[in-house]
Amino acid sequence: MGKVRVGAFSISVDGFGAGPDQDLDHPLGVRGGEMFQWAFATRTFRTMFGEEGGSTGIDEGYAARSMAGMGAWIMGRNMFGPIRGDWPDDVWKGWWGEEPPYHCPVFVLTHHARAPIEMQGGTVFHFVTSGIDEALALAKAAAGERDIRIGGGVSTIRQYLVAGALDEVHLAVSPVVLGQGEALFAGLDLPALGYAVTEQAQGELAMHIVLTRQ
């Protein structure tokens, strides 16, 4: 059985995992993209989107590691797109174009049912209306011996942390102060939930911290 893990999730120095006011023009919230500059610069990220070049140092090592061995993903509806409430139609298929970078089943948490969407490159979006436990069970069945990545956003990661379902959490702390947004750890007692820092490294554009459930 593979791990259930968060990989390459960027947070600001003041603990926010997304900026405020997410919309079509601000998929990561206002100023949220500033936290991901370290990832945008890596070879792994650029290759995912058909670009050449990119950094090959410590940041790249963590970016590559975050994508390795993935058998399934789970994400919240906010990460899938800016639409709220009932799906008005089937037009919206995510932020990533016709070939998303996942290349495996992706389970999207939502309160509103929708038929699965098959994309190019092996990504299939499945919409799960029965909660985080059902999504995790489906992801485990799909992933087999490979890992399951909890892709975000903040609310989704917090729910799986509280449930004690995450084996590993890799955070990239970016040198950005947002002041407002979605706080990742507000009100959570990580030691009480069984998590401790087991790894840290200073990358070129971010500090990398790995929390492991003890």
- Quick one: pLDDT at residue 132? 98
Topology of domain 4-19+31-84+98-213, CATH: Dihydrofolate Reductase, subunit A (3.40.430)
Judged on CB neighbours under 10 Å (0-12, 13-18, 19+), 1 is exposed
Contacts of 88 (CB under 8 A, 6+ apart): none
Query: At residue 50, does pLDDT exceed 90?
Result: no
73-82 per-position pLDDT tens digit: 999 999 999 9
d(CA 78, CA 133): 18
155-210 per-position pLDDT tens digit: 999 999 999 999 999 999 999 999 999 999 999 999 999 999 999 999 999 999 99
Contact 203, 39 (CB under 8 A): no
Domain boundaries along the sequence of the chain: 4-19+31-84+98-213
> What is this structure's pTM?
0.94
Query: At residue 32, does pLDDT exceed 90?
Result: yes
